[in-house]
Amino acid sequence: MKEWRSREVRAFRSAGAGIWEALRSERHMRFHAAAGLAVGLLGGLLRVSREDWLWLLAAIASVWTAELFNTAIERTVDRISPEKHPLAKAAKDSAAGAVLMTAVFAAAVGAIVLGPPLWRLCFE
Ligand SMILES: Nc1ncnc2c1ncn2[C@@H]1O[C@H](COP(=O)(O)OP(=O)(O)OP(=O)(O)O)[C@@H](O)[C@H]1O
């Protein structure tokens, strides 16, 4: 039981270190983190419903997750193929495409959920 717990603690520490390293070294990761925090603050300010919170959280989590996978793929490609190679390019471009897909999804969710109450707050 004790051994299991220390293994779990180590796994959490490694996961936290991975997130911290991505935040430290990747400009895009910092941008997504700031955008997620801003959306969270706006959601609180505009008192969105429970259901809308689920959409906002799903959008934020999907972008952060995609960016972390993108970082992992970039690191792996740089490690195993420091020289130029079409497959290395394809791998990095696909990973970047995945981030773009989630960012478009998140922007759509943000516009649908936050757009109308933000409009009312500003113009009505
Ligand atoms: N080894 C490689 N072989 C061929 N093309 C590569 C290689 N490494 C990178 N590229 C191309 O250059 C682009 C930029 O790669 P880079 O490693 O600078 O990542 P990035 O997208 O700028 O990520 P970030 O700025 O978040 O670190 C890739 O999307 C890919 O098209």
What interface predicted TM-score (ipTM) does this complex get? 0.89
* pLDDT at 4 (0 to 100): 75
Q: In the chain, how many domains are there?
A: 1
Ligand 1 lined by 74 (C-beta under 6 Å)? yes
> For residue 1, is it within any domain?
no
Tokens 């490609």 found at: 77
Rounded to an integer, what distance in angstroms lies between the CA atom of residue 117 and that of residue 47? 9
* pLDDT at 2 (0 to 100): 74
Q: What is the pTM of this model?
A: 0.90
> For residue 95, is it within any domain?
yes
Sign of CA pseudo-dihedral 33, 68, 114, 57? negative
Mean pLDDT of 50-68: 97
For the chain, give percent helix, strand, coil, nearest 5: 90, 0, 10
Residue with the nearest Cα to atom 24 of ligand 1?
A: 26
* pLDDT at 71 (0 to 100): 97
* pLDDT at 83 (0 to 100): 96
Encode pLDDT of 6-48 as tens digits. 889 999 999 999 999 999 999 999 999 999 999 999 999 999 9
* pLDDT at 56 (0 to 100): 98
CATH number at residue 85: 1.10.287.3610
Tokens 């700031």 found at: 34
> For residue 10, is it within any domain?
no
Which regions of 8-91 does DSSP assign to beta strands (E)? Answer: none
Task: Compute the half-sphere exposure of residue 44: CA atoms within 13 Å on the CB side of its CA.
Answer: 5
Encode pLDDT of 72-119 as tens digits. 999 999 999 999 999 999 999 999 999 999 999 999 999 999 999 999
Ligand 1 lined by 28 (C-beta under 6 Å)? yes
> For residue 116, is it within any domain?
yes
Q: Domain range spanning residue 31?
A: 27-123
* pLDDT at 6 (0 to 100): 86
Rounded to an integer, what distance in angstroms lies between the CA atom of residue 111 and that of residue 100? 16
